[in-house]
Structures are given as structure tokens and as C-alpha cells.
A and B are shown apart, each in its own frame.
Chain A
Amino acid sequence: MRRKVVSILLIFACFLVQSALWNLFTFTTVRPNLMLVLIVSFGLMHGSRSGMLIGFISGILVDLLYGSFFGINVLLYMYIGYFIGKAYQVFFDEDIRVAIGAVAVCDIIYNMIFYVIKFIFGARYSLGAFLVRIMIPEVIITLIFTVILYRLFFVINKKLLETEQEDQESSWLLR
């Protein structure tokens, strides 16, 4: 329960910062994909289910308020969360390098898929211009924010795990 409330608050905070603090990031520049950082972080730290659900809610929020096609962001974020969560058993979540790598890969995939969708719906950009102008700047700024936010998310997740462990000391076998 506590985890659900905290997750929803975090999603909402990331969304607000990304949409309403635009005058800090200015209008015409690429902005960090904070929702993606959140989804990847929780996928890595708490598994597929968390990643998937946080992705789902984030996607709903973005698509409901802004997207032209309802569902695109939901699908993308949800699958990113799910598949990143698969790496939960493989890597240690303390290692920020894993998070940075994962965010970079996911942001590239996210942008590439958006490029294809835009292409299907008639926007014609050369791949080179797209890479240099949109994708690479966005990935770089998102990674800078990953370094800052991953530590924060890690601490939050650790606190949540501790309280969860206290709550169900006897029956908690998985972790």
C-alpha cells in the first residue's frame, strides 16, 4: 500500500517537473525524459511488475493529457518497464552504471520507435538530422538526470523495502 502511494506520487512529481517546469528547461530545447528514468530505475530495483505498472500509469498520464495517439506512450513505457525488470535478477541494483546503460538503451529505443511512428504518419526527417538534433541531446540530458535521480530513487526504494520487511517479517521469502 505504502509502495503504491509513493510510486504514484513519484510518477506525478516527475510528470509535473517535466511538463510544468518547462521554463527552466526552455521551450525549444530537448528535455530529459524523467518518466523513463523513473520506470527504468524501479524496474531495475524492484522487478518487472513494478516497472510495468509504473510504466503503465506514467504512459496513461502522458497520453491522456498530451499525446496525439492515446496508447502509444502507455505501450512503450509499459514494455520498457517490463523488460528492464527482467534484468532485476541479473544485476545488483547498487550499480549505477547498469542504470545508466539501461536508461541510455531505453531512451534510444523509445526515440527510434517514435521516429518510426512519426514517419508512418507523414513526418519526413533524415535519420542523420534526427540522431544529431533530437535523439543524442535527449539521451545525454536524460543520462545526466539519471545520475542525480537514481540515487534518490534507490534510497526511496530501500526505505520501502525495509518497512515492507518489517511488516511481514515471517512470510517474506523472496527477498
Chain B
Amino acid sequence: MNNKRKNRIDTKNLLILLTILCISALALTLTDYVSITPLRRAASVVVVPFQKGVNAIGTWFTNQRVSFRDVQELSEEVAGLQAQVNALTEENTRLSLEQDELKRLRALYEIDSDYREYEKVPASVISKDPGSWYATFIIDKGSDDGVAVNMNVISGGGLVGIITETGRNWATVRSIMDDNSHVSAMTVTNYDTCIVSGDMTLINDGLLSFEQMNTENEIHAGERIVTSNISDKYLKGIPIGTVYEVTDDSNNLTKTGKIIPTVDFRYVQEVLVIKELKKTAS
């Protein structure tokens, strides 16, 4: 045995020591006696730049994969898209006329403005939590850009999640796929409310679940679900997804089912943070 080895703490004792340390840390944070937020912020300052770099490499690879696609396939896609552009341009002209009218009428009736009109901050996703157990991720905009806790995050016209924590140049987003996420939602046609939650057993199929839909109306697959006006954190009317499957609960009063989200969570890279917090009575 050399001297160095003799001076060290015995492995078993070290294990006991670290265990006690962990359990006390766990107890302190679980009871909200101590917050690890300052520590987490400090660690993020070190780790986030690395994650940004690594993420850039990953994005590069993804783009390479895309650019190798078949020319034939691409030109067909272009033709299809061109037709779509024409149709959409026509529709857009018509809609923008109606939009003006709507704006005037809204002003007239003093109706709350739509979430589309609020100021938004674009942000890129830089990392996702490493386990299979949570669906939270980190974006590259933080309090410096005006991002604050409880702001809604959207992408591609659908709800992605909500800001749960912010640092100077990063923020944590809990996606609606996370099983700690519960969003108060409603159907577009009848305003039937329900709770949309993430479900770890559905996440691989890219589906969400909903429950407690208390309604007499028939709910069909394809029914659109948006955030409801009674939600205390989510702004009204943000699309969540469409109904995929409905079942009646055993009490015959409420319905549960599955939802296909509007956002394709496999490819979330760019998101928009809505810089408007839901105003509540409290």
C-alpha cells in the first residue's frame, strides 16, 4: 500500500457519507425548504454554451440527411407546393380582408385580442433533458430577452409548452408531452372543456391524452382541441391538436381519449415564446 491510498477515506464510509448528503438534499428540496434554482443557474452558465455547440453539430447532420434526398422527389414536392402557394395566396387575400373587418368589430365589441397579436420572441431548442422520463427542454432565450416564467411557448401554430424556469440566456420549457403537464382545454365546436395531459406511455406514438370531458355532445375523431378560456396559465385559443380516439368513462358522464398534437414533437427546433402572461384575478 502506498501512502496516497492510506490517507483516503474508505470507499464504504464515503458511500455512506454521500448517501446522507443526497438524502438530506432530497429532503430539503422536496419540502421546498431550500431551492436549488441558484445552483441550477450557475451550472447552466457552464453547460449551456457546450450544449449550444453540440446542438449545432446535430442540426448540421440533420440538414445533411435532408439535403441528400432524391431530386425527383423534391421536384414533385416543389410542384405540389407551388399549387398550394397559389391556393393559399388567394385564400390569404380573402382572409386579410376579413381580418381587417374582424379587427374593427373586435374593437367595437371590446373583445380580448387573440394570442396571434401578442409580441413573440423566437428561440431555438438547445437541449432536452437526458432521460426518457421527462419531456422538458431548454431554449436559448432567457430573461435578457424578456422571457419569464409561465409564458406560453408555441411552434408551427400549435401549443408546445410553458416556461418553468429562466436564466439570463436560457429558459426551461415543460412541453405538453410531459406527464406533469395538465392543460385546461376545450373543443372548438361546442366549447366542451377537458384536461389535456402528457402520458409517458403514449409519448412514443406522439399522442397526448385528455380526460374529464363532461359533455352530452358526440365527440368525433378529428375534432379540434384548443386551450380554454378558463385556464389560469395558458392563453385562450391556442391549438393543441385533434381528437384521435374517444371512449366513454364508466360513469357515462365524462369522456377520455387521445389527441394528435398540432406540433410535430419529433422535429421541434424553433419555437416562439409569447410575451404575454395570462391575466388572472389573483
Which A residues are CB-close (under 8 A) to B61? Answer: 24
Once A23-B59, A29-B204, A52-B11 are accepted as A-B contacts, the answer to whether A65 and B47 lie under 8 Å apart by CB is yes
Question: B134–A68 contact, CB under 8 A?
Answer: yes
- Stretch binding the partner chain, chosen from B49-57, B81-89, B238-246: B49-57
Cβ contact of B204, chosen from A20, A114, A125, A137, cutoff 8 A? A137
- Stretch binding the partner chain, chosen from B21-29, B186-194, B214-222: B21-29
Q: Which of B19-40 contact A (CB under 8 A)?
A: 19, 22-23, 25-26, 29-30, 36, 39-40
Question: B200–A19 contact, CB under 8 A?
Answer: no
Question: B200–A64 contact, CB under 8 A?
Answer: no
- Indicate if B105 sits at the interface (CB-CB under 8 A): no
Q: Which of A130-158 contact B (CB under 8 A)?
A: 130, 133-134, 137-138
Question: B200–A123 contact, CB under 8 A?
Answer: yes
Once A16-B54, A29-B204, A70-B25 are accepted as A-B contacts, the answer to whether A52 and B14 lie under 8 Å apart by CB is yes
Measured between alpha carbons, how far is A16 from B51 in the docked complex, in Å? 6
Interface mask (A43-69 → B, CB under 8 Å = 1, otherwise 0)? 000001100100010000110111111
The total number of A-B Cβ pairs within 8 Å is 152
Question: A70–B128 contact, CB under 8 A?
Answer: no
Nearest CB of chain A from residue B195's CB, rounded to whole Å: 14
- Indicate if A82 sits at the interface (CB-CB under 8 A): yes
- Stretch binding the partner chain, chosen from B90-98, B112-120, B143-151, B260-268: B260-268
Which B residues are CB-close (under 8 A) to A70? Answer: 25-26, 29, 36
Question: B133–A118 contact, CB under 8 A?
Answer: yes
Interface size of B in residues (CB-CB distance below 8 Å): 56
Measured between alpha carbons, how far is A154 from B82 in the docked complex, in Å? 55
Q: A49-B11, A71-B29, A75-B19 are in contact. List 11 more A-B contacts (CB 8 A).
A: A22-B127, A22-B137, A27-B128, A27-B137, A52-B18, A65-B47, A69-B30, A70-B29, A78-B22, A118-B200, A133-B201
Which B residues are CB-close (under 8 A) to A71? Answer: 22-23, 25-26, 29
Question: B133–A27 contact, CB under 8 A?
Answer: no
Q: Which 4 A-B pairs have the closest CB atoms?
A: A71-B26, A66-B129, A171-B2, A20-B54
- Indicate if A102 sits at the interface (CB-CB under 8 A): no
Question: B267–A20 contact, CB under 8 A?
Answer: no
Give A24's nearest chain B residue, CB to CB.
Answer: B58
- Indicate if A35 sits at the interface (CB-CB under 8 A): yes
Question: B2–A23 contact, CB under 8 A?
Answer: no
- Indicate if A38 sits at the interface (CB-CB under 8 A): no
Question: B204–A19 contact, CB under 8 A?
Answer: no
Question: B29–A27 contact, CB under 8 A?
Answer: no
- Indicate if A72 sits at the interface (CB-CB under 8 A): yes
